[in-house]
Amino acid sequence: MNIPENLKYTKEHEWARTEDGCVCVGITDYAQHELGDVVFVELPEVGSHVEQDDTFGSVESVKAVSDLFAPVSGTIKAINADLETAPEAVNEDSYGKGWMVVIEPDNPADLDQLMDAAAYATFLEAEAK
Torsion angle of alpha carbons 125, 2, 54, 57, nearest 10°? -130
**CA-CA-CA-CA torsion for 98, 101, 102, 106, nearest 10 degrees?**
-140
CATH number (1.50.10.10, 3.40.630.30, 2.40.50.100, 3.30.2130.30) of 8-106 reads 2.40.50.100
pLDDT tens-digit map of 75-129: 999 999 999 999 999 999 999 999 999 999 999 999 999 999 999 999 999 988 7
Summarised one tens digit per residue, pLDDT across range 1-57 is 899 999 999 999 999 999 999 999 999 999 999 999 999 999 999 999 999 999 999
